[in-house]
A = this chain, B = another copy of it.
Amino acid sequence: MIPSTTLHVSGERFLATYVLSGPVEGARSRAEGICVEQTIEFPADLVPDDDIRRHVIGRVESFDVAGPETAVARISYAVETTGFELGQLLNVLFGNCSLYPGVRLTAVDLSPSLLRAFPGPRFGVPGLRRLLDAPTRPIFATALKPMGLSPEVLADIAATMARSGVDVIKDDHGLANQPFAPWEARVRACAAAVSKVNAVTGRRTLYMPSLNGPISEFHERARIARAAGAGGLLVLPGLTGMDSIRWLASDEAIGLPIMGHPAYLGANVASPVAGIEHGLMFGTFYRLAGADLTVFPSYGGRFSFTPDECRSIADACRRPMGSFPAIFPTPAGGMTLARVAEIRAFYGPDTALLVGGDLQRGDLAENTARIRAAVEERPA
């Protein structure tokens, strides 16, 4: 038995919804197990009738049997368990119970003090629209590729893209620090090329280099990119951690829009009986960390997300969330000119359409101008 403990807690709690798959008979006690696992991770019978029991252990707020093999538990946690830090918030929500069988985290209701603890998106939809001078239309994004080209050739491609009307040019998520195009040389060349075009066209194309490098150099690379004239930053939180987005978003001296990419995280959403719901993972968490755009593989491309899963991500980008602005869902993965109207109709105008390799099929400048025209068209 541990000593009886008195704590100062606010009483404010946040909620997590878990879907428990498997025999419903044991589901209620599995939910109670999660309350313990995600907090004290300690035999509950060794805790006296004290404030740890009353406040620190999670609490089953509702429990419903939703099918022969499905139960839904809503569990609340004291905000203090998170220490108001993002990594620990995610840890309370899903750290150890990610290792349980048949547990999927499907929804989170954060409370006011938690939402205030994070800076959120610095730009979001309104801020990016101002930056890009694009008050209402969808944003047109593309990826600079392929890996293997030199900084000079990539910079030429970026210049053509900028000249022809792309709003956001992100590094392909696989461009890192390869000898073919070392990170700093590539970023300097591409940022300079895009800046030069912007000076001529008067447009404000944003070049967003990838920060998928050593985490020890993460902030320094962001600083170099900013000084070189980058217009934003691409972050792969599956590799650098979700909190790496928050690091940038909360740094006034960086102050650039952030695009989050889903690489390496797919298996976390893949199973209907494990992992994290799509909208929560790629919408809510990216937005909470401070991403202004969140890339995900759209339905109908070469990946596996369904229309409903994509809609869930888009909804999570937009629903009310403290004082955070909405952010841009950025469907990608097989987008083509032929699909612009359909994709726009599905996701609505507050969307960034990411057209990748297909842009370079035939004449890059022509293709780019055509998609720019398509995103500027008012839908019928």
Contacts and interface: CB of A to CB of B under 8 A. Distances in A.
B88 A177 contact: yes
A261 to B, nearest CB: 9
A300 interface: no
Interface in A196-243: 212-216, 218-219, 236-243
Contact of A146 (B40, B219, B266): B40
A95 B148 contact: no
Nearest to A87: B239
Contacts of A42: 145-146, 172, 356-357, 360
A178 B92 CA distance: 12
Interface stretch (A2-10, A130-138, A368-376): A2-10
Interface string A90-108: 1110111111110000000
Contacts of A236: 87, 91, 95
A149 B179 contact: no
Copies of this chain, count? 2
B87 A213 contact: yes
A214 B246 contact: yes
Q: How large is the interface on A (under 10, 10 to 19, 20 to 34, 35 or more residues)?
A: 35 or more
B90 A239 contact: yes
A240 B90 CA distance: 11
Interface in A337-361: 356-358, 360-361
A270 B95 CA distance: 14
A146 B56 contact: yes
A267 B262 contact: no
B98 A51 contact: no
Given A174-B41, A360-B2, A247 B100 contact: no
A85 B263 contact: no
15 contacts: A52-B148, A56-B147, A56-B148, A80-B179, A83-B176, A88-B212, A91-B174, A91-B176, A94-B264, A96-B263, A96-B266, A101-B270, A101-B303, A266-B274, A267-B274
